[in-house]
Each structure stands twice: as structure tokens, then as C-alpha cells.
Amino acid sequence: MKDAVYVLGGEQTDFQRNWTKEGKTFMSLFREAVQDGLEKVGLTPDEIKKLNKQNRIGVFVGNFDAEQYAVQGHMGAFLTEVDPCFYGVPGARYEAACASGSVALDAAQTKLRSKDYDVAIVVGMEIMKTVSSSVGGDFLGTAAYYEKEAKGVQFPFPKLFGKLADVLLERYKLDEKRYMGALAEISRINYANAKRNPKAQTRSWFMNKEHANARGGEFNMAVGGRLAITDCSQVTDGAALVVLANKNYAEEFAKKKGTKLSAYPKIKGWGHRVAPITFDAKVAESKGDKWVLPWTRQTVKDAYDRSGLNTKDIDVFETHDCFTSSEYAAISAFGITQPGKEHEAIEDGVIDFNGKKPINPSGGLIGAGHPVGASGVRMMLDIYKQVTGTAGDYQVEGAKNGLMLNIGGSATTNYVFVVGK
């Protein structure tokens, strides 16, 4: 593939950290992610300077809401504060709610495929623990239609994805106890997977299925309809970086490293679709369709079509489990089951760490954490680790191809990437 885009590697911060409690700012988070990421890849300041002189490199920053969380915009220019080697390097910030990291990845791969640049540094970052959970919940409401769906609503997104849980239950006429048990098992799996991940937010937390099933009590309060705290992803400070390159530079880079181009995986397929922004409009549009979230399914299908692969070819998935209901819907979107049969794959252990189609070996957003603008980049990094056999204790044996699904809003912006050697 002449226009192939390769993933050279990357790094993430420890998602367990609270940078505000440490007396540090968004800039501290940004600086550490970039410095550690470039060191991990082996891209030096001198090499960046050289590439910049030749106009062969760009910077792409995914961030949702630094204006509110950190009282700072213009995030695409802040690599100049990390190192003078970035002076003059073109950089910009990209935003699509919780899919901000993926829109930055997409912009980067587009520039590489068109041969405008040879190398792209993609950073996703969000600092969220600067405010209380209720204030942060209101900030996150701007990822929905704020005036119609979030204004004056405490924790609007748990309620929106609680509605998704309701629609899935009703649309497919599922047994409620069995369905809610399947959602609890999704939670248990993600927390269990996170224990293997040394940078996961919940790696030291306790969780079992009994706790996840005990919704509504003092230790697992209801937050949105049928959903409780254990059904939710985390409020997280974090950043992740990956370096992408076109074939010419990837070959150069491999030669310098004394390895082969085949050591680096490439982006084999991608998909990007936008659904109606309000949740009610999504539900109305999907009436009569097999899928409750048809545009999420179409995004996956687009990525399969572009890659020439299908569900049977994918060995590992990273999905956007902002809530257990979103992961439940993703199972059929991936083609693992037919819509309405997702609980069967959960009950049969298909999506477990040792299952046939493991989902979120990293722990996902529920276990690893969800720094909103960083999640898409973190998923890309974890898929890279899986297909290069470098995921450590959470490595899925024999993973050759991986797929990631990153969504923004109530499954409004949908992004999928397929990565493999």
C-alpha cells in the first residue's frame, strides 16, 4: 500500500494520578506525555528539527474541554512549551467530544496519506480533576445538545446512557435480570482486566460481579435510570501519545533502528460517521433497523470494508465503554453477535480476556480510565501494543489484528480504526 500509515509506537501517563492534588497543571501532564512518548518511540529533538526544516512533520492534539477544565484554549500550540525543537512545527487542536483523540488521529493519517507530511505526532490529553464531579458533569453535558439534554440536569451522560440501556432492553424484548447481569459482567471484566494494566486507574480497586449487580445501594448508587456507579467509566486525568508515519519514513526509521518495516503495524482500515446529536433523534431514526445505533454499526462496517477484513479476522478489540450499555451495543456493532444477542457472548466468555474475541484487555474506560480527549489515542496505543506483542501482563496471545471504537456524545461521532501487521 503506497499510502499506508504506520504506527511507530507511543506512551501514556499513569491514569491513576490526580495532577491537581500533586500541585501540577495541564502543562505538566502535557509535557510528561510528550517527553516520555517521544523517548519511548526514539524520536529525538534533533530529528524533529531536521524534519521540520524539510516541512515533513506535524502535531495533532486531541482535547475536548481544556477551556473549562483548565481555563486554556489553543492546545495545539503547547508543544512549543515542551521543547524548542517544536518551534515552527505545524500544530492544531482537534475536538469531537469523547472522540477528540480519534479525530486528531484521523487528521494526522489524512496528512500522511496525502504526503503533505511524513511524520505525525498525535497527543490526546484531558485534565478533569480540577473541579467537582457535579461541575465536571455539567462540562461534559456540552458533548450532548446542552440546551435540550444537559442544562440543569445533574450528571446528564449517565442518564443518556441509562436511556440507551432502556431502549436495548425494550427493543429486543430481553429478560431484564439476564440483561442487567450481562451489564454487570461487562463491568467485572473491565475491572479485572485493569488489574493487569500497570497504568490503569482502577488497578488497585476491588470489584466483583456481586458488587456490580448490587445496584441502588449505598456502595453502588444509581446514577442514570437502571445504571449505577459500577456501570460508569472514570473521571480521569491523563494523556497519551502515538507517532504515525508514512511508508517512506517508516522504512527510514526501521533502518535506523536496525529492524524491518514489518516490525511496525499499519492502519488497515478506518471509519467515521456522525449520527443525530440528540439521543431521542437517534432512537427515532433507528426504529425498524436491526441496530439501535445504526451509524455506529456502519462506522465499523466502513472500517472492515476499507481493510478487507471482517469480525473473524480481528483478534482483539478496544471499545468505548463510557458505560456498560455502550459496550453492550458495541458487541453486535462489531459483528460478534446479532443485535439483541449480545448477552450470549458475554455469558459464554467470548469477550473475556481469555475468550475468542476479547474486548478491552487494557481495562477500557471503566477500568483503565477516561481522560476524554486522550481516550482515542490511548486505544490506538493499546491496539499497537497488542499487535506488536508488547502489552505485557494484558497481552492477548497471538493478536495480529485489532480494532478500536471511539465515540463522542451519545454515540454521535463514531470512529473506528483497524490496526495490524
Predicted pLDDT of residue 148: 97
Mean pLDDT across 344-359: 98
Is the entire prediction scored with pTM above 0.85? yes
Rounded to whole angstroms, how far apart are CA atoms 179 and 344?
10
Rounded to whole angstroms, how far apart are CA atoms 313 and 194?
25
The verdict on residue 341 lying in a domain is: no
The verdict on residue 320 lying in a domain is: no
Per-residue confidence band for 1, with pLDDT thresholds at 50, 70 and 90:
very low
Could you list the residue range(s) of the whole structural domain that residue 116 is in?
A: 5-130+235-257
Predicted pLDDT of residue 402: 98
Q: How many structural domains comprise the chain? A: 1
Rounded to whole angstroms, how far apart are CA atoms 92 and 77?
7
The verdict on residue 121 lying in a domain is: yes
Over the stretch 102-139, which tens digit does the pLDDT of each residue have? 999 999 999 999 999 999 999 999 999 999 999 999 99
Q: Is 77 exposed, middle or buried (0-12, 13-18, 19+ CB in 10 A)?
A: middle
Amino acid at 304: Y
Instruction: Give yes or no for residue 10 having a pLDDT over 90.
Output: yes
Whose grid coordinates read 455502550? Answer: 326
Over the stretch 38-88, which tens digit does the pLDDT of each residue have? 999 999 999 999 999 999 999 999 999 999 999 999 999 999 999 999 999
The verdict on residue 100 lying in a domain is: yes
| Mean pLDDT rounded to a whole number for the chain | 97
Rounded to whole angstroms, how far apart are CA atoms 185 and 201?
19
Percent of the chain at pLDDT > 90 equals 98
Pairing assessment for the beta strands 227-228 and 222-224 based on DSSP bridges: antiparallel
Q: The domain spanning residue 249 has which CATH number?
A: 3.40.47.10
Mean pLDDT across 201-212: 94
Rounded to whole angstroms, how far apart are CA atoms 222 and 216?
5
The verdict on residue 75 lying in a domain is: yes
Instruction: Give yes or no for residue 356 having a pLDDT over 90.
Output: yes
Q: Which residues pair with 323 in a beta bridge?
A: 232
The verdict on residue 223 lying in a domain is: no
The verdict on residue 103 lying in a domain is: yes
The verdict on residue 28 lying in a domain is: yes
